[in-house]
Amino acid sequence: MRVLILDDESNIVKGISFMIGKFNLPHSEVFSMTDPEEALALFREKPVDIALVDIAMPGMSGLQFIEKARIS
């Protein structure tokens, strides 16, 4: 399973990544990202099963990210 964590605040991304690791949730790869454009490029290359996305981010909102990812 692939998990994408996308938030413009790196502390949030690190905290969620830590929690996933701490509880040994079933996953094979966790992608921790703070830049929506980079995350979109990654998503196009390696689609994820679960995406935890911040809604309010500068440049591209989480909702815009989801819409663009759906079109990919």
- How far apart are the C-alpha atoms of 71 and 1, rounded to whole Å? 21
Residue 28: pLDDT band by 50, 70, 90 thresholds? confident
Please give the sequence-ordered ranges of beta strands (E in DSSP) within 1-72, or none if there are none: 2-6, 29-33, 50-53
pLDDT digits (tens, 9 = 90+) for 31-68: 999 999 999 999 999 999 999 999 999 999 999 999 99
Does the predicted model carry a pTM greater than 0.85? yes
